[in-house]
Amino acid sequence: MTDNTENTENAVGTKSTEPVERHSYDVVVIGAGGAGLRAAIEARHAGKRVAVISKSLFGKAHTVMAEGGAAAAMGNVNPKDNWQVHFRDTMRGGKFLNHFRMAELHAKEAPDRIWELETWGALFDRTKEGKISQRNFGGHEYPRLAHVGDRTGLELIRTLQQRVVALQQEDKASTGDYEANLRVFAETTIVRLLKDASGRIAGAVGYYRETGQFVVFEAPAVIMATGGIGRSYTVTSNSWEYTGDGHALALLAGAALVNMEFVQFHPTGMVWPPSVKGILVTESVRGDGGVLRNSEGKRFMFDYVPDVFRKQYAETEEEADRWYDDQENNRRPPELLPRDEVARSINSEVKAGRGTPNGGVFLDVSTRLPAEEIRRRLPSMYHQFKELADVDITAQPMEVGPTCHYVMGGIEVDPDTQGTVVPGLYAAGECSGGMHGSNRLGGNSLSDLLVFGRRAGLHAAEYIDGLGTAGKPAVAAADVDAALEEALAPLANADGENPYTLHHELQVTMNTLVGIIRKPEEVSEALTKLEEFKPRRTKVGAAGGRRFNPGWHVALDLRNMLIVSECVAKAALEREESRGGHTRDDHPAMSSKWRQINLICSLNEDGSGIDLKHQPIPTIRPDLLGLFEVSELQKYFTDEELTVLGDSAEPVAEAKPAGEAKPAAEPEVKSEPATESKAEAKSEPEAKPEAKTEPAPIPGQSNGEKAADTAADKVAEKSTEKSATAEAEEQTAQAEAEAQTEDAETAAEEK
């Protein structure tokens, strides 16, 4: 809740006659989803005064909707799982366009981020041994998703919310004020980032939705955690919040966006009734045994297994069905291919006339599991279909089709620090780019939020320490004035065009012309339309007053949606290949040449549109490449690129079979991030925010971490070593005790 009793004089020295509330913080986090809250918690742990800003109420951010789970190679269900396997799956899922370093950090640190949630009160579903249960999901080799039924996002956000409250209670005890060091500004929308004369971040300006009053935040560090862009599409699983604000604000402030053409269409959204079209049907339905059938009753996914995945996926229904019980000796069902593959396959089936009456395909779990089991494992899906579509999923198949779900592209960040090219500006979560390459695996977002949210908070705090006291950037009054003027324009133009109409036209344009399958002539047409929308956008009007006026809010969001849509369309037109969340009708194949290229969007000189440039993709460290078989890499890389493998690849490649890598790797996985959190912010040996240098490869050493262990790290390591080793031993012992077949059962049975 916003507290409007604060000073409301215009204290920023602007010319505008508007009353502007003003606050000063060390770190301002824009976004109160998983990434934003985790970042805020970390910055607060590092001793900073932090504000968290959110368009909706506290605890309602998009993360709340995540269903399936959070991926982390804890190895609780199948002890063969470890960070290397998770890394491999992530890179495969993203078709090797991922920033390898982010994928590496993510795979290594995710388990610690999940365990830490338990210490803050999270209650995940358990295995028989009382550990966190893990479920199967598309693209993940082993059961890996920590979950709570099908409401994992709710658990995640509630836990972080409650952690924020815990920290506020500490502050209350020590200062008498809950909000002394960590305050949530709910229902507050940021409209511009502010910089000082030398180009460093100085703060942000926004308005309280409730009153329509403006507020300026002065802060040397801002962390963007604003989520995605789905509201630019008609059929989407995303809420009204997903207007690409973070992408657009960062771009307007001089940051770059990377690979915006990659938009994930989740294969299974509801298709009927029309008013719920796009609402998500969790992938857990397939992870728990659900199958896809066309109108002829055929399990069509067997016809769509691409070459690169042939080795891992079953060829017959019998083998696929056996996999649920015995994953050692059978290959996975093709329904669990990465999302891009499944979405395209459904699209093809419908186009070929084998769709359902409402233009989808059938997703059936009713013939696969007992009714009781379905209700137990998929309670919210059961509920959702029952209440919204009159469909009983324990007795009937669901009708599903692709829905715009997630954007892989995003703000370009340093993989270790989450810093952007704008000093003081950080980004984490869905609005940042690089981690997921061309396609995100299910469950990798929730873990991404935690891993990189924490990193952003940590490094933003470090950046501030580096500034000293003298160097705090100052907000320029003229910038605030300009932002207010821009924001007030629609209200002064009450007779202008209806913003809802323009929004709808934009959605239809993106949905039909820059959707799952892209044709260059259609994307060009979309770009022409976007140019027509731009002047219309400046003339939209908002009737009514300032107080909680949704029409006005939409009018302001349109700027961001248009910017982001232009980025998506421009990049989609440029990339002449098909990969992950980008499919070109005229270039259906993946190209190793294009794999070497990141497409970078930035604001053009006069601010009227987007410039696009090619940038070479960072070279993957040989020790990480060595985790793959050369024959697999050859499907993605040019021969030239693979020559670096040379001899350094061999020894690592040998250690590859997952089972063997485990005992050696396990303590590393645990101690490395634990080291960092123990050592707290101060001693983190990572690169400075701007440093884009890659860490030197250490061939043959599987963790490939920097050798620069500080003394503090060593000490911290000692203290955590014991538990990590004990854990590893316990797991190994347990692995022996359990017959291997139990793994699969546990995955299926435990909730």
Partner 1 sequence: MGYKGKFKVWRGDASGGDLKDFEVEINEGEVVLDIIHRLQATQAPDMACRWNCKAGKCGSCSAEINGKPRLMCMTRMSTFEQDETVTVTPLRTFPVIKDLVTDVGFNYAKAREVKSFTPPKDLLPGEYRMQQIDVERSQEFRKCIECYLCQNTCHAVRDHEENKDNFSGPRYLMRVAELDMHPLDTADRKNSAQEEHGLGFCNITKCCTEVCPEHIRITDNALIPMKERVVDRKYDPLVWLGNKIRRRTSSDA
User: Which of 18, 129, 319, 745 is close enough to bind partner 1 by CB under 8 A?
Assistant: 129
CA angle, residues 328, 341, 106, in degrees to nearest 5: 65
Question: What is the β-pairing status of strands 201-208 and 398-407?
Answer: unpaired
Interface with ligand FAD by CB under 6 A: which range of 99-107, 120-128, 428-436, 678-686?
Answer: 428-436
Q: How many CA atoms lie within 13 A of 614 on its CB side?
A: 9
Q: How far is the CB of 318 from ligand FAD (least distance, A)?
A: 29
For position 430 contacting ligand FAD by CB under 6 A, the verdict is yes
Q: What secondary structure, in 3-state letters, does 548-588 show?
A: CCHHHHHHHHHHHHHHHHHHHHHHHHHCCCCECCEEECCEC
* Binding-site string for partner 1 from residue 656 to residue 675, where x marks contact by CB under 8 A and - marks none: --------------x---x-
Please tell me whether residue 53 binds ligand FAD under the rule CB under 6 A: yes
Site map for ligand FAD, 372-411, x if CB under 6 A?
Answer: ---------------------------------xx-----
Please give the angle made by the CA atoms of 386, 389 and 395, to the nearest 5 degrees.
Answer: 55
Which two tokens mark 625?
Answer: 């490449």
Q: How far is Cα 110 from Cα 659, in angstroms, rounded to an integer?
A: 20
Which span (291-299, 436-444, 547-555, 632-640) binds ligand FAD, by CB under 6 A? 436-444
Is residue 614 close enough to count as binding partner 1 by CB under 8 A?
Answer: no
Helical packing angle, 34-45 and 444-467, nearest 10°? 40
The nearest distance, CB 718 to ligand FAD, in angstroms, is 34
Q: How far is CA 142 from CA 87, 551, 734, 747, in A?
A: 12, 47, 17, 9
Q: Which is nearer to partner 1, 218 or 666 (CB)?
A: 666
Report whether 135 contacts 168 (CB < 8 A): no
Cα radius of gyration (the chain)? 25
> Helices 658-679 and 83-93 meet at what angle, rounded to 10?
100
Q: Which one of residues 180, 252, 279, 467 is an interface residue with partner 1 (CB under 8 A)?
A: 279
| Residue 313 backbone dihedrals phi, psi, to 5 degrees | -120, 145
116 binds, among ligand FAD, partner 1, none (CB under 5 to 8 A by kind): partner 1
Binds 154, which of ligand FAD, partner 1, none (CB < 5 to 8 A, cut-off by type)? partner 1
Applying CB under 8 A, which part among 78-86, 276-284, 505-513, 625-633 lies near partner 1? 276-284
Among 22, 80, 99, 151, binds partner 1 (CB under 8 A): 151
The structure tokens listed for 696 are 């030197």
What residue 58 binds from ligand FAD, partner 1, none (CB within 5 to 8 A, per partner kind)? partner 1
Binding marks (x or -) toward ligand FAD, 124..143, rule CB under 6 A?
Answer: --------------------
**Cα(655)–Cα(651) distance, integer angstroms:** 7
Report 439-458 residues binding ligand FAD (CB under 6 A): 442-446, 449
511/505 Cα distance (integer angstroms): 10
Of 429 and 541, nearer to ligand FAD (C-beta) is 429
User: Pick the catalytic residue: 101, 192, 266, 339?
Assistant: 266
Binder of residue 130, out of ligand FAD, partner 1, none (CB less than 5 to 8 A by kind):
partner 1
Catalytic residue among 38, 99, 286, 405: 286
DSSP one-letter string for 253-279: TT--EE-TT-EEEEEEEE-SSGGGTT-
443 binds, among partner 1, ligand FAD, none (CB under 5 to 8 A by kind): ligand FAD
Our answer to whether residue 436 is catalytic in this structure is no
**The amino acid at 456:** A
Among the listed residues 457, 655, 434, the one whose alpha carbon sits nearest the alpha carbon of residue 34 = 457
Scanning residues 237 to 256, which ones bind partner 1 (CB under 8 A)? 239-241
Residue 266 is a catalytic residue: yes
Which residue's CB is nearer to ligand FAD, number 300 or number 406? 406
* Calpha distance 202→217 (Å, rounded): 8
Q: Give the range of 61-69, 287-295, 408-416, 740-748 binding ligand FAD by CB under 6 A.
A: 61-69
Residues marked active site are found at 266, 286
- The residues that touch ligand FAD, with contacts defined as CB under 6 A, are 30-36, 53-56, 61-63, 65-70, 152-153, 189-190, 206, 225-227, 237-238, 241, 245-246, 280, 405-406, 429-431, 442-446, 449
